[in-house]
Structure 1
Amino acid sequence: MQDDLFGPASPEPARKPQAAPSAPRPKARSGDVALAPAAAQYQALAAQLPANLRMGVSTWSYPGWEGLVWDGAYDASVLSKKGLTAYHRHPLLRTVCVDRTFWRPLTASQYAAYAAQVDADFRFVVKCPAGVTDAQVRGEDGKARETNPAFLDPRLAVEHFVEPTLEGLGDKLGVLVFQLSPLPWGWLSRPTLLLERLGTMLAAVREALAARPQVIVAVEVRDPELLIAPLADTLRAHGATFCLGLHGKMPPIEVQLPILRALWPGPLVCRWNLNRIFGAYGYPDAQKKHDPFNEIRSEDLHTRELLARTIRGITGAGQPAFVTVSNDAEGCAPCSIALLSQAIAAL
């Protein structure tokens, strides 16, 4: 695995995908959403990718993807409700991250509505609500207001997250992600206690998934201080993996990879969220620069090449890989996935 991860990168620069030329933007449609004809160009590339690799975006309701994913102009509210019917037909998009669950739990019927829009081969990555994975209760401005008594509560994790996703998504559930929000020093200074609590929750989650052992459980952290061997030990003990969180709050991918190596053999779960050039709190700046999210504006060739080699190494050893990409990684998630696909195919 190590040789594959850090072998020589492809010397050929990847061709940047572009949306099909279009006339001035028409009035947004309100009916069913169809796939952009230009997406057909990726059929041959998709056939060169590992069958056990699933890539997709993090949130899909972007009108700016007209010509890349959508066949025309649609309002964001239409894409949010109906966009998956077109999205899942894109040759390179075989998964999606449901991010909205981080802010508010969804019901089984809401998950079922998503599942009804995609075919049997599609898989979802779903984030656990922050009410379970954030040690602090936050206001609308994101600032901590008080200690969260439900932090890593096993019962809430199962009843408000695992059970509804299982009931609503069924066999289309691929990964459950538990993203630990940045922790106060009171927790970071007591890693043993933190990992004990995390382990207790993960044990309950695995028990709830007893009938679905293929569902991957992944833990993502937003504190570099947690990239320690005891974290890997806790994840291994409870059948979970580490989620590569490529984000301004975290070190670059090469610093996080040792945790994955400590868990080898195992799957890859990666969420490429925010280009590190924007810093730990750079979402507003990234959004301002990247809007309308239809082209690469903050290219991150270093991350892309290392991620491609990581994917090739892990999938080549027979392990599954789920990789989701945000617009704020490079400016346009579908374009980043196309470039990443080209890099993987070239290895």
Structure 2
Amino acid sequence: MVDVRVGISGWVYPGWRGGFYPSGLVHRSELRYAAERLTSIEINGSFYALQKPSSYAKWRDETPNDFVFAVKGGRYITHIRRLRDVEVPLANFFAAGVLALGGKLGPILWQLPPNMGFDADLLDEFLGRLPRTTTEAAALAARHDGKLADDRVFLTPDADRPVRHALEVRHPSFAAPEVVPIARRHGVALVLADTAGRFPWIDESTTDFRYARLHGDAKLYESGYTDAALDVWADRVERWTADGQDAFVYFDNDIKGYAPFDAMGLLKRLGVGGG
């Protein structure tokens, strides 16, 4: 049975208070409120800094049993190290509590910077380093360095589970035909990113799931999706699932607060939980 997840990219947006989040809702209840209406959320804080195991455990416990988080890989790996010499940074990332999500751990999202062009050997090497199971992730995490204090380390998965990865590219050189075979060889999903035409649109199947990020089809991060546009996305997701692929779709058009409402609209069209 295929799995369909629709949600938002992050959930802490002060501008949503009094809109999506009702007036008077305490801030600590916002994740619970969002998770009751959606089926997945991307954790964005992990992109900016290593999080704490206690935070991942808290997020796990505050959400419904069938909820799933995608986790955004650290920008230190993608934007600063630019995928080079990243074994220890990868170990630190996986040691910092990602595995505490347990069965709620969904795909890991790796977003490359817009000024980073395609390098076939570098991409192949990086994707080959990524752990494919929680057991492999724990073994990698055990090689973390002293940057993490003992209370900032979590190395014990609750079970041996698959770990999925998705890659979002932003430089036009990634339209090269060599990209798809590399992603396919490593079982990594290429993100279908809707970016108002600013970044590459890559609609290719490379593994057993599809991952889409909707940043706005008219204005990046700003515009909402019309009923007609949501109908098109619903049809697209239904084609993916008809082919036996799981689907993960996240709305990142957050500036004017459209993201959660668009996500609920898509969920309604797909007839799946949440919404």
TM-score by length of 2: 0.77
Q: Distance in 2 between matches of 1:209 and 1:300?
A: 43
Q: Distance in 2 between matches of 1:317 and 1:163?
A: 35
Q: Secondary structure at the match of 2:235?
A: helix
Q: Distance in 2 between matches of 1:98 and 1:114?
A: 10
Matches within 5 A, 1:174-185: 174-184=106-116
Deviation at residue 67 of structure 1 after TM alignment: 7.1
Q: Distance in 2 between matches of 1:70 and 1:329?
A: 14
Deviation at residue 173 of structure 1 after TM alignment: 0.6
* 2:86 corresponds to which of 145, 153, 177: 153
**For residue 239 of structure 1, what is the aligned residue in structure 2?**
187
Q: Secondary structure at the match of 1:229?
A: coil
**For residue 250 of structure 1, what is the aligned residue in structure 2?**
199
- 2:265 counterpart of 1:323: no
**For residue 166 of structure 2, what is the aligned residue in structure 1?**
218
Q: Distance in 2 between matches of 1:152 and 1:246?
A: 30
Deviation at residue 110 of structure 1 after TM alignment: 1.5
- 2:76 counterpart of 1:131: yes
- 2:104 counterpart of 1:172: yes
Q: Distance in 1 between matches of 2:48 and 2:97?
A: 15
Aligned partners of 2:16 and 2:257 also within 8 Å = no
Aligned partners of 2:83 and 2:122 also within 8 Å = no
- 2:15 counterpart of 1:82: no
Q: Distance in 2 between matches of 1:239 and 1:57?
A: 24
Deviations 1:229-271 (A, max 9, x none): 32222222222211222224324xxx421x22xx26x211111
Aligned partners of 2:70 and 2:105 also within 8 Å = yes
**For residue 261 of structure 2, what is the aligned residue in structure 1?**
335
Give, as a single letter, the amino acid of the residue that structure 2 aligns with 1:222: R
* 1:62 corresponds to which of 13, 32, 50: 13
TM-score by length of 1: 0.62
Task: Identify unmatched segments of 5+ residues in structure 1.
Answer: 1-49, 138-147, 287-296
Runs of 4+ with deviation above 6 angstroms: none
Q: Distance in 1 between matches of 2:238 and 2:161?
A: 24
Query: When the two structures are aligned, how many residues end up with a matched partner?
Result: 249
Q: Secondary structure at the match of 1:115?
A: helix
Give, as a single letter, the amino acid of the residue that structure 1 aligns with 2:186: H
Q: Distance in 2 between matches of 1:52 and 1:223?
A: 30
Aligned partners of 1:125 and 1:173 also within 8 Å = yes
Aligned partners of 2:19 and 2:257 also within 8 Å = no
Closer/same/farther in 2, CA of residues 163 and 309 from structure 1, 3 Å limit: farther
Give, as a single letter, the amino acid of the residue that structure 2 aligns with 1:171: G
Deviation at residue 64 of structure 1 after TM alignment: 5.1
* 1:110 corresponds to which of 55, 73, 76: 55
**For residue 214 of structure 2, what is the aligned residue in structure 1?**
272
Aligned partners of 1:52 and 1:318 also within 8 Å = no
Closer/same/farther in 2, CA of residues 83 and 320 from structure 1, 3 Å limit: same
Give, as a single letter, the amino acid of the residue that structure 2 aligns with 1:326: D
**For residue 163 of structure 1, what is the aligned residue in structure 2?**
95
Q: Distance in 1 between matches of 2:101 and 2:242?
A: 28
Aligned partners of 1:111 and 1:164 also within 8 Å = no
Give, as a single letter, the amino acid of the residue that structure 2 aligns with 1:208: A
Q: Distance in 2 between matches of 1:153 and 1:54?
A: 30
Matches within 5 A, 1:88-107: 88-90=35-37, 93-107=38-52
